[in-house]
Chain A
């Protein structure tokens, strides 16, 4: 009912604008109250979930190591046009950054960052820095021969190598640096150094997609013997999808069976489904190693029963990964399925059957559409869990069965390469979001015909 349809009563009712304001006002109050109630949760999610995840993902583009480690060089190199080697001033700035750094750790951190772009850059910087220090230190004498007991000369090479800087004290900074290490004449090191001064870096995202920046700034494929991540991304997606399908195939009958049992027995069965969740994933996976290995229990039984003359390869291959992953994921499929199936009255399917539908037709036309939300929820849960698996494939899989998360974990903990880890995580998150989108689309249209 709008005020314009009753112009005669205009004095008694509020003007449209006033009404609008009044509605808005009362609505605002309610919104404020609900926001106040919802606020803590929102703040919690923002502070402890969204913010850390976004700031971690931002590491994929973070690029201040070189600027911090080589402040003078970063400024000087901006004028370089990328051809040949930079001017004398840049060499001088670099020598100064290396010789007089107030923060030697920033230099080595920058060196590690540059080494990810061009392999060998780290030792180039470390050896140049020590060469410059030795040249500057006028009192330094050549390293004395150490006396090493018989049979212990193996470790001798560790100290012998640091003496490649004989005439490092002579000439211009350019000559000096090149005499310490001729690699300073190569364009690729300088190009990487300049890329290191960009505000954000595409390095990690490119690396995570098996790409790299060429020295002329164009993007090219990584060398064929170093491409791994696209394969890994595809495999991670594929393995999770297969595990999801197997889990549906196994979980559906189980959930259906439990949902038809009387409550007391259903509780017992649900308990049995949930028991495995109380043991750690590591323990469950190791149990599969014991069962499936070549000299393991299952192979013993197979050979004793004469089912196979030789012991079957059940582990360290894709089969082992599927078995162990499905085992871990199955409860997460059964739970949502069961809760949905329990809420579907059996009278619906009986009604359909009494109206003449054949069992298959009842299942596909009546039962499946009713329980489909459970299938979708379970599938989504299992699929997303599956994308994140890495301990299980590492233990029961072979080298061709490793998944992306293993490499994210390794980049974080072993290599301290958080940029790469963040880039790989972004890719994983994009996969999840796309899957969610597609699945929503699919599930909303699947049974509405």
Chain B
């Protein structure tokens, strides 16, 4: 290689690096869970945000594995500016010291939001539901009406889909066994309560198909592999848009918040906060609820959601009449232990 050529090469690399840096300066990367919920955020937030600020939003996908954030923070090689997570993840990540604590005052005070929407490491921006869903083509004569039907193999023969995770499986079993929603976590904090839940699950154990990824249950339901399944509500709404006749059963939905969290000492913090501020404008926050069934957390955004959308939200009065909120404090303590217990129970 001649000297000139070498020089050209070096210059080209330097230029490319500069171009990359420039590109990085006005773009942020947001990791979400893929599928319908990410598409909703893209339509409601990413595109309007880019239009308003000129900051590009690059999508990425993650699976809730905090270790990927941990490794980015420890090696200081940041891939993600913001990450979408549920309440338990926000809490765990914050306690493990891998999330940026941010000044929430730029988006208002805790009073402007639903209770529990403020954590040191994030502000919640949406509510989502975990539900039971069924294939309305197969059960059209006799649709299920309560969580008890999920455990009624005589009236509704066929397989059941449940996420291989204690969350919602335990709650569902206890609710179907007659525990009131307000006593749910009081019961679950006792060993007898957990025993009772597994006893109830025993009654359908050999009919259960255990799913892991949120895209599985709509497919299992549409294929007729299962008669009913626990699902993330928004996935069913998305599947309905694709022409699949799946229905959500609004009996004891489990509600949780969605949050944006920031890896600790992220170099994109400034642009990340611009994004947080953008989605905390009431009119922008309300937009998400019109794209997909995510309820606003910002009180001022609630009345701004169009009437035709408001009724389908998990937080609408009709849908949330007997809803309960997942107790992230309970799961922060017990998640790992319950998973061991669930695994043990599944081996038997």
Contacts and interface: CB of A to CB of B under 8 A. Distances in A.
B299 A149 contact: yes
Contacts of A147: 111
Interface in A409-438: 410, 412-417
Contacts of B328: 158
A105 B257 CA distance: 23
A154 B116 contact: no
Closest A-B pairs by Cβ, 4 of them: A158-B116, A413-B65, A105-B97, A108-B95
Interface in B247-280: 255, 257
Contact of A119 (B164, B223, B334): B334
Given A122-B333, A225-B344, A159 B316 contact: no
Given A116-B336, A150-B317, A157 B111 contact: no
Contacts of B257: 155
Nearest to A123: B333
B320 A154 contact: yes
Contact of A226 (B212, B329, B337): B337
A11 interface: no
A293 B316 CA distance: 38
Interface of B: 63-68, 70, 92, 94-97, 110-111, 114-117, 164, 209-210, 212, 223-225, 255, 257, 299, 302, 315-317, 320, 323-325, 327-329, 332-337, 339-341, 343-347
Given A151-B320, A155-B116, A416-B96, A146 B341 contact: no
B95 A225 contact: no
A377 interface: no
Given A151-B320, A293-B223, A295-B225, A123 B97 contact: no
Contact of B92 (A154, A295, A416): A416
Contacts of A339: none
A105 B92 CA distance: 11
A294 B95 contact: no
A227 interface: yes
Given A394-B212, A416-B92, 7 more contacts: A122-B332, A146-B110, A148-B115, A155-B115, A156-B115, A225-B345, A316-B209
A405 B38 CA distance: 29
A123 B332 CA distance: 8
B66, B257, B315, B333 — which one has the most chain A CB atoms within 10 A of its CB?
B333
Nearest to B226: A294
B227 to A, nearest CB: 13
A159 B332 contact: no
On chain A, which size bracket covers the interface?
A: 35 or more
B334 A295 contact: no
Interface in A377-401: 394, 398-400
B160 to A, nearest CB: 13
Contacts of B339: 410, 415
Nearest to B209: A316
Nearest to A411: B336
A142 to B, nearest CB: 15
Interface string A182-209: 0000000000000000000000000000
A122 B325 CA distance: 21
Nearest to B316: A151
20 contacts: A105-B95, A108-B96, A151-B317, A152-B320, A154-B320, A154-B323, A154-B324, A155-B115, A155-B255, A155-B257, A157-B327, A158-B116, A159-B116, A225-B341, A226-B340, A294-B225, A399-B164, A399-B343, A413-B63, A414-B64
A400 B346 CA distance: 7
Nearest to A151: B317
Contact of B114 (A155, A161, A228): A155
Contact of A108 (B63, B67, B97, B335): B97
B115 A146 contact: yes
A145 to B, nearest CB: 11
Contacts of B65: 413-414
Contacts of A410: 339
A152 B68 contact: no
Interface in A61-81: none
